[in-house]
Amino acid sequence: VNPDLASERQTASFSVEKLTAWLDGGAEQTRLRRAVVGAIERDPVFSRENQYFQSQNERYEAAVRKAVHLQKKMHEMGWSQEGPESKYIYRAVAGDIAFLLHRIFMRSISVLGSDKQIAKWIPLASQYQLIGSYAQTELGHGTYLQGLETTAVFDSTTQEFILNTPKISAMKWWPGDMGRSATHTVVFAQLYVHGKCYGIHPFIVQIRSLQDHSLCPGIIAGDIGPKMNFEHIDNGYLMLQNVRVPRENMLNKFCEVQPDGTYIRRGSQKINYFTMTSVRISLISTEAVTPLMKACTIAIRYSAVRRQSKLKPGEQEAKILDYQTQQEKLLPQLAAAYAFHFIDNYLQELFDRGYREIQRKNFDTLPELHALSSGFKATVTQYCTSGVEICLRACGGHGYSLLSGLPSLYTKIIASCIYEGENTILLLQTARFLVKSFMAASTGQSVPPSVAYLAAAKPRKCPARNKLDFLSPDIYTEAYQHMAARLISSTAAKLQDLIQSGVKRHDAWNQCTVQLAQAAKAHCHYLTVKNFAETVEKIESKAGIQKIMKHLCDLFALHGIFSNAGVFLHDGYVSGAQMDMVTASYLDLLAIIRRDAVPLVDAFDFTDKSLNSALGCYDGQVYQRLYEWARKSPTNKQISPAYEKYLKPLLHNTLSKL
Amino acid sequence: VNPDLASERQTASFSVEKLTAWLDGGAEQTRLRRAVVGAIERDPVFSRENQYFQSQNERYEAAVRKAVHLQKKMHEMGWSQEGPESKYIYRAVAGDIAFLLHRIFMRSISVLGSDKQIAKWIPLASQYQLIGSYAQTELGHGTYLQGLETTAVFDSTTQEFILNTPKISAMKWWPGDMGRSATHTVVFAQLYVHGKCYGIHPFIVQIRSLQDHSLCPGIIAGDIGPKMNFEHIDNGYLMLQNVRVPRENMLNKFCEVQPDGTYIRRGSQKINYFTMTSVRISLISTEAVTPLMKACTIAIRYSAVRRQSKLKPGEQEAKILDYQTQQEKLLPQLAAAYAFHFIDNYLQELFDRGYREIQRKNFDTLPELHALSSGFKATVTQYCTSGVEICLRACGGHGYSLLSGLPSLYTKIIASCIYEGENTILLLQTARFLVKSFMAASTGQSVPPSVAYLAAAKPRKCPARNKLDFLSPDIYTEAYQHMAARLISSTAAKLQDLIQSGVKRHDAWNQCTVQLAQAAKAHCHYLTVKNFAETVEKIESKAGIQKIMKHLCDLFALHGIFSNAGVFLHDGYVSGAQMDMVTASYLDLLAIIRRDAVPLVDAFDFTDKSLNSALGCYDGQVYQRLYEWARKSPTNKQISPAYEKYLKPLLHNTLSKL
């Protein structure tokens, strides 16, 4: 181990192993996680070595190989999809695997299909006698599902639906696993019966032959080409030309077309929201927080090893982690990674409680859950994406090399701001809930717990008198609460004013959306700070963990005030003099947390293989590793044909003869 | 042309052609630019079609082919390196060309070499009898040049320098054109004569045979592998093992080792700063502003074509550009692109004036020029990088496809935050100048023009009384000036206080760096707003150009206040009520500028080929083009071997037999 990294570990103020276990939810979980990750990483099929050198075609092939091998592996190891190991498998393969849409295919049949449909399709899918995908998004439509243009017309003479892509913008576009792998997909289309449109419905459509994988009649499908990342996934396009599927292929738990064309709707569709909610919550941890934790691990370890310029004249060059500006880049990201890990726990609990209620046919928690999952999906993915980018830039030139692992973390996480609901649209959904709740609260109606604070909103002043007061969770949590309530109430007031002055409701809404999105972010920021403070409060003081977590919580909170000073100063709740105290305490904290920065990322417990970074390895031998890895690049495996073709004639001055 | 885009152009409030000519510096320049771009784009060798499908090896080969062909082309067309066409050539090839370091090689010899050295090497280089590179950065050292570890020891018995890479961190790393192409390079190394170290000096070293391109004895060199972008450049590594070069190969305009080992230093080294200054200023336009202009063109045209969801019930789906949140993402970036185009003009003028002075041996303008070039390099590259990212995200899923052109703009521009001086370090250099100037100004000494405002800093209040007052350039320029002066003076005061309280000078500096960097940014932001306002003032009102530029200037200024509210509110210069006026005026401007958004990007006059974007073409046929381009992807050119190897056995349930 590089001595510059070893020395950082000797002075940890807490037990790294205990913090790891606490983050995992207990030492038993840690043991299980390590066992799963170890088993996967020891298997050469799952190796990610050379990944940064691979083409899109090679990445796809490797992802399919891994997905197929994983079935075998799980059988071998006695792991099941529902078992406790499953959440660690995804972490271990680092997302680099095919057939993730196959699961969505199965889930949509389980949720939207009748018992008969489930009995027919789920066994086929579980045994991989078909490969499924999920064809919702079109070239011309993403988030606005009602606008989808694919049609499914019922033909009562043959008892079939005829599916069509009426124009180019109606082509299915982006579905994963569809470009090259899938044999079947769930197509969302506008249902027409006897000329009447009944809106969007799901249909199971076979797209490729089970015998030779050739495209079925009427199907045009392929790969949508290169993307910023996800080279391993065959995101596809699909055009349907008079494709006929039997009546039984419309998923009909909630609605059915009877043989004579009678359309029947049954049951509640609210459960659909619940599916989206569950997906949004589950991606927060795997697709946003984990990548940020990895980026922090890489950047902080590298910053303890990289020495550059002199901090004190006459001494050796300083570790870049000792510069205040470097601390100010990285340590708030580290604090955010912890903050969002805890908010994920909070959301999971809320979700589990909501799920139990729904099983009892009580849908009351749905609006709050929908608002929180939308708002947190948007704010956490946005924050973590910025955080990963900051980590990348903080590593200077070497961060820009793919071998650092940071570019691929960044190009992947940025997609999380777009998929499963574009972030701005999600924030506005949260805002709609907040405005509604504010209106209810101000007329004395009861509101869900997460927005109960809106009832108490009134002008106040922050009581802090010196910089140490700002290390009190009560002080800063209240500042966040006040600020969020003010943004929500003032935007709600603007909306009301516009409507009362004669502006049409939809125009008024549009004219408030910039501020509504800001209010929704403020609400989530407040809840994150509050939840972090409450989490710290609950830790039984063991091995210094509570102390360091308290520092991180303070840092997260004060960084937020420092970086968004305007919204706290605006109505004078925080004064300019108090803002100087915030700044002072914030900068003090950087120097304190810096001492534990390496142990704090060690506690995330990523293996070198899972980081796949020449800069971030546990041993800190960054330069050796960069050199070793670079030599393996295909650009060093061959003399480029460019020499004989262009360089030699140029240098030998024979170009004119060409 | 898509009617949704055509309609945007019919209502332009100004003449696009006249704005283009004004931006180019006259209609004659526009004509010349179009002629050069046209000649390059009509030549199939320069085609960037299929670029998004190419591997690193293919990109490199294409870049070399283009570089070699460009020599021929320039000869054919009668263009010279010094001619008026040259600045348009780079725009036309969109940077996608090899041998850019060859020019730096030549420039460093011209600047650092003696007349004799120039006479020997420059003709060889101009005729491409060698290919040059520039080997400064090492694995372990970037910005801090004094820390470079490569050594050059003078051997008086043979009259040679012996160059060595004493350890792995001393390996040259990153130099462009060096991994595979270069035959020669300028190596920066610590000079030792008779055991004494004289610091960093430049040496011309041959690294590859001119006959067969094999590596010279003692040379280990290769490509550093994949990066986030710049696949076309062979950034390289270089290890030197007792490589001997003759005494004449040390560039010796400013210093010389005589045959007996006597070391002589002569002339001013200040000119070296001037070279860095010139590079930093020149990259602002080509590497930061142009990419932002392209990203705005793509995202704004797409936003006028993309329809999603309904703004008014019962109407057709709305153009996404009609949503306030979309306007708030894109239009401030558009305003920034204009603002930075104008600040680039300002810097160029300042630079030209400085250059004339330097030719008269007057170096007085150097400190200001160095501070401004550092500060603006940092702030403009940072701002433009964020701007390109915002444009990418604003295009939703399709922005994430490489075919949109946005990912490659982003992955390239982000490097500009790192190279030619890491941005944080540059900001701190500017801050050092600002603190010094502030101290001088406050003791009544004269200071350079760009910081003269620091002398007048005092507590005041913003006089605006309603939202229209904030459309007055005097009002907002003064707000920026006040804010910048406050940040500089309060940070200088903190620094003084720390030193007076006994903190050592270097520690005190480190403890202020977060705020110093903020102050430097504020200074550049102020100058950008001031320069934009002055530029608008000087336009003779023609064809509505002044009016729309005034709107953009207002938007740029108010967006900055809205987004950085804290620093304006902090001391009460702007009150909370005034901030509400800023917000109101800012949001009003979005709706006004939205009407001219497409004409404003049309005026940048990028050809479809130079945008290389399926979303950004002039005709707005985005869906057709996405589909056509995707079909050409190599992922659609072959049946993946994954089918026979993995999918077929899986589907046919023969896996267990494998």
Closest residue on chain B to A574 (Cα): B570
CA distance A585 to chain B (A): 12
Residue B143 has pLDDT above 90, yes or no: no
- Binding residues of A for FAD are 137, 176
Q: Are strands B184-193 and B243-246 parallel, antiparallel or unpaired?
A: unpaired
Closest Cβ opposite residue B641 in set A61, A567, A632: A61
Most A CBs within 10 Å, among B395, B467, B578, B636, to test the A interface: B636
Chain-chain contact of B308 with A144 (C-beta, under 8 angstroms): yes
| The predicted structure's pLDDT at residue B657 | 43
Distance, CA of A284 to CA of A293 (rounded, Å): 12
Does the annotation count A420 as an active-site position?
yes
Q: Tens of pLDDT along A182-192?
A: 999 999 999 99
Chain-chain contact of A127 with B653 (C-beta, under 8 angstroms): yes
**Mean pLDDT along residues B572-576:** 97
Q: Tens of pLDDT along A230-242?
A: 999 999 999 999 9
User: What tokens appear for A521 in the block?
Assistant: 């972010």
Q: Tens of pLDDT along B157-192?
A: 999 999 999 999 999 999 999 999 999 999 999 999
Nearest to B369 by CA among B381, B357, B359, B361: B357
Chain-chain contact of A53 with B169 (C-beta, under 8 angstroms): no
Three-class SS state of B599: helix
Find out whether A326 and A334 touch, Cβ atoms under 8 Å: no
Catalytic: which of A8, A231, A420, A478? A420
Three-class SS state of A268: coil
Closest Cβ opposite residue A511 in set B171, B324, B570: B324
Using a 10 angstrom Cβ sphere, with 0-12 exposed, 13-18 middle and 19 or more buried, the burial of residue A166 is exposed
Contacts of B121 (CB under 8 A, 6+ apart): B106, B109, B113, B204
Residue A658 has pLDDT above 50, yes or no: no
Cα–Cα–Cα angle for A161, A165, A169, nearest 5°? 150
Residues from chain A that touch B138, judged by Cβ atoms under 8 A, are: none
Closest Cβ opposite residue B64 in set A313, A418, A646: A646
Q: Tens of pLDDT along A470-480?
A: 999 999 999 99
Q: Are strands B243-246 and A184-193 parallel, antiparallel or unpaired?
A: unpaired
Chain-chain contact of A228 with B131 (C-beta, under 8 angstroms): no
Find out whether A225 and B53 touch, Cβ atoms under 8 Å: yes
Q: Tens of pLDDT along A241-270?
A: 999 999 999 999 989 999 999 999 987 767
What number of CA atoms fall less than 13 Å from residue B42's CA on the CB side? 7
Closest residue on chain B to A409 (Cα): B228
Distance, CA of B85 to CA of B101 (rounded, Å): 20
Residues from chain A that touch B505, judged by Cβ atoms under 8 A, are: none
| The predicted structure's pLDDT at residue A451 | 96
Query: End-to-end distance of chain A based on CA atoms, in angstroms?
Result: 55
Distance, CA of A369 to CA of A430 (rounded, Å): 10
Closest Cβ opposite residue A143 in set B308, B414, B513: B308
Chain-chain contact of B143 with A504 (C-beta, under 8 angstroms): no
Q: Tens of pLDDT along A417-450?
A: 999 999 999 999 999 999 999 999 999 999 999 9
**Mean pLDDT along residues B518-525:** 98
Is residue B222 part of an annotated ligand binding site? no
Closest Cβ opposite residue A401 in set B131, B227, B324: B227
Three-class SS state of A9: helix
User: What tokens appear for B649 in the block?
Assistant: 């056995």
Nearest to A241 by CA among A191, A168, A174: A168
Distance, CA of A645 to CA of A378 (rounded, Å): 51
- In chain B, the largest separation of any two C-alpha atoms, in whole Å, equals 91
Distance, CA of A25 to CA of A345 (rounded, Å): 10
CA distance B386 to chain A (A): 10
- Its CATH class, for the domain covering A102-266, is mainly beta
- CA-CA-CA-CA torsion for A602, A606, A610, A613, nearest 10 degrees? -10
Most A CBs within 10 Å, among B327, B651, B654, B657, to test the A interface: B651
Closest residue on chain B to A147 (Cα): B309
Q: What is the DSSP letter of B401?
A: B
**Mean pLDDT along residues A521-548:** 93
Q: Are strands B263-265 and B255-257 parallel, antiparallel or unpaired?
A: antiparallel
Find out whether B386 and A131 touch, Cβ atoms under 8 Å: no
Three-class SS state of B184: strand
Residues from chain A that touch B641, judged by Cβ atoms under 8 A, are: 61
CB pairs under 8 A between A and B: 361
Most B CBs within 10 Å, among A646, A648, A656, A658, to test the B interface: A646
| The predicted structure's pLDDT at residue A654 | 67
Chain-chain contact of B640 with A567 (C-beta, under 8 angstroms): no
Q: Tens of pLDDT along A498-512?
A: 999 999 999 999 999
Distance, CA of A395 to CA of A392 (rounded, Å): 6
Residue B658 has pLDDT above 60, yes or no: no
Residue A457 has pLDDT above 50, yes or no: yes
- Angle, helices A576-594 vs A545-563, to 10°: value is 140
User: What tokens appear for A310 in the block?
Assistant: 């002199």
Q: Which residues pair with A135 in a beta bridge?
A: A187
Q: Which residues of A453-484 are buried (b: 16+ CB within 10 A; e: fewer)?
A: bbbebeeeebebeebebbbebebbbbbbbbbb
| The predicted structure's pLDDT at residue A461 | 96
Distance, CA of B408 to CA of B51 (rounded, Å): 10
CA distance A269 to chain B (A): 21
**Mean pLDDT along residues A562-578:** 98
Find out whether A518 and A487 touch, Cβ atoms under 8 Å: yes
Q: Tens of pLDDT along B348-369?
A: 999 999 989 988 888 888 999 9
Closest Cβ opposite residue B396 in set A181, A418, A572: A418
Residues from chain B that touch A184, judged by Cβ atoms under 8 A, are: none
- The tokens 């190279």 sit on which residue? B419
CA distance A138 to chain B (A): 10
Closest residue on chain B to A76 (Cα): B656
Closest residue on chain B to A504 (Cα): B312
CA distance A399 to chain B (A): 9
Confidence at B446, pLDDT banded by 50, 70, 90: very high
State the sign of the Cα–Cα–Cα–Cα dihedral A15, A16, A17, A18: positive
Kindly write down the DSSP assignment for every residue of B602-643, as one continuous string: HTT---HHHHT-TTT-TT--HHHHHHHHHHTSGGGTS--HHI
Contacts of B394 (CB under 8 A, 6+ apart): B299, B303, B326, B329, B330
- In this structure, the number of other CB atoms found within 10 A of the CB of residue A606 comes to 21
Q: CA B1 from chain center: how many Å?
A: 33
User: What tokens appear for A658 in the block?
Assistant: 């060409």
Confidence at B266, pLDDT banded by 50, 70, 90: confident
Residue B566 has pLDDT above 70, yes or no: yes
Distance, CA of B468 to CA of A461 (rounded, Å): 30
Q: Are strands B184-193 and B132-135 parallel, antiparallel or unpaired?
A: parallel
**Mean pLDDT along residues B603-626:** 98
Nearest to B597 by CA among B447, B394, B427, B383: B394
Using a 10 angstrom Cβ sphere, with 0-12 exposed, 13-18 middle and 19 or more buried, the burial of residue A211 is exposed
- Ordered by start, the domain boundaries in chain A are 102-266, 630-657
Contacts of B82 (CB under 8 A, 6+ apart): none
Contacts of A24 (CB under 8 A, 6+ apart): A30, A33, A605
The rounded mean pLDDT for chain B is 95
Find out whether B66 and B45 touch, Cβ atoms under 8 Å: yes
Q: Tens of pLDDT along A298-322?
A: 999 999 999 999 998 889 999 999 9
Residue B543 has pLDDT above 80, yes or no: no
Distance, CA of B598 to CA of A557 (rounded, Å): 41
Closest residue on chain B to A312 (Cα): B506
Distance, CA of A537 to CA of A552 (rounded, Å): 13
CA distance A25 to chain B (A): 35
Q: What percent of chain B has pLDDT over 70?
A: 98
Q: What is the DSSP letter of B647?
A: I
Q: Are strands A184-193 and A196-206 parallel, antiparallel or unpaired?
A: antiparallel
Residues from chain A that touch B183, judged by Cβ atoms under 8 A, are: 651
Catalytic: which of B85, B149, B287, B420? B420
Instruction: Please tell me which residue, A86 or B604, carries the higher pLDDT value.
Output: B604
Least confident of A157-171, A448-462, B97-111, B418-432: A448-462
Kindly write down the DSSP assignment for every residue of A464-525, as one continuous string: --SGGGGG-HHHHHHHHHHHHHHHHHHHHHHHHHHHHTT--HHHHHHHHHHHHHHHHHHHHH
Query: End-to-end distance of chain B based on CA atoms, in angstroms?
Result: 55
Number of residues that this document lists for chain B: 658
Find out whether B550 and B13 touch, Cβ atoms under 8 Å: no
Nearest to A464 by CA among A569, A378, A371, A579: A579
Confidence at A363, pLDDT banded by 50, 70, 90: confident
Find out whether A580 and A265 touch, Cβ atoms under 8 Å: no
Q: Which residues of B606-626 are buried (b: 16+ CB within 10 A; e: fewer)?
A: beebbbbbbbbbbebbbbebb
Chain-chain contact of A565 with B565 (C-beta, under 8 angstroms): yes
Q: Tens of pLDDT along B212-263?
A: 999 999 999 999 999 999 999 999 999 999 999 999 999 999 899 999 999 9
Using a 10 angstrom Cβ sphere, with 0-12 exposed, 13-18 middle and 19 or more buried, the burial of residue A538 is exposed
Distances in Å between the alpha carbon of B549 and those of B13, B290, B539, B555? 11, 18, 9, 10
Distances in Å between the alpha carbon of A459 and those of A10, A470, A489, A579, B563? 49, 20, 12, 18, 23
Closest residue on chain A to B128 (Cα): A651
Chain-chain contact of A629 with B225 (C-beta, under 8 angstroms): yes
Residue B654 has pLDDT above 70, yes or no: no
Q: Are strands A236-240 and A184-193 parallel, antiparallel or unpaired?
A: unpaired
| The predicted structure's pLDDT at residue B509 | 98
Stretch (H or E) spanning B260: none
The rounded mean pLDDT for chain A is 95
Nearest to B614 by CA among B475, B461, B452, B406: B406
User: What tokens appear for B232 in the block?
Assistant: 């076309």
Q: What percent of chain A has pLDDT over 90?
A: 90
